[in-house]
Chain A
């Protein structure tokens, strides 16, 4: 399995500021995914982070609001820009296994719990 860590684990931020969330994986992976989970809801995919190219965003999410970096095969960041209280959510980083027994199995980080005041 893949071990994924995220920083920070939680934060409380003021409206209008930005927060960058870091995701570190213990092995090289081609694709990393960023999800948002609003209170009481299931997960919603924000974007797929590809190493060496721009991230692919899902409908309803834009690069200006959620810029993503993917400098190498084990690391990615998601920035939540110009935050409002509606951005209060858990943000999760995920990778998908690509070989052997863990092919197609998706692994998730512990999440970053963001509260915007």
Chain B
């Protein structure tokens, strides 16, 4: 069964600190893995997309890694800001239009 699991479910850190969010998946055939940021009451916004051959991709203070052998991905946030408070969702594409969504990690940044 195609599944995407994220951990932790929620996380609270102090402003300026770093954090890492985890995503494990069992999706086949694998096409790409995406990380989205969703602010409360808004639609998700894409942070990164990685294909099978990519093992790291950065977008500003966000760095995503992908280990296709162990079927794991992580999203590392550096020097967190209050505006990073949001849900972060890992999504794996099994084909062009079949997306398997994780439940998300709710991140809260405290001043």
Interface set of A (CB-CB < 8 Å, partner B): 4, 31, 33, 41-45, 48, 90, 92, 94, 96, 104-111, 113
Contacts known (A41-B103, A105-B49); A31 close to B97, Cβ less than 8 A: yes
The smallest beta-carbon distance between B31 and chain A, in angstroms, is: 8
B residues adjacent to A (C-beta < 8 A): 31-32, 34, 41-46, 49, 89, 93, 96-97, 99, 101-104
9 new A-B contacts, CB < 8 A, other than A42-B89, A45-B99, are A41-B103, A43-B101, A92-B43, A94-B43, A104-B32, A104-B49, A105-B49, A106-B34, A106-B44
Of A31, A48, A104, most buried by chain B (CB within 10 Å of CB) is: A104
Chain A residues closer than 8 Å to B34, beta-carbon distance: 106
Determine the chain B residues whose CB is within 8 A of the CB of A108 once the complex forms. 43-45
- The residue in chain A whose Cβ has the minimal distance to the Cβ of B98 is A45
Q: Are A42 and B97 in touch, CB under 8 angstroms?
A: no
Q: Are A111 and B41 in contact (CB under 8 A)?
A: yes
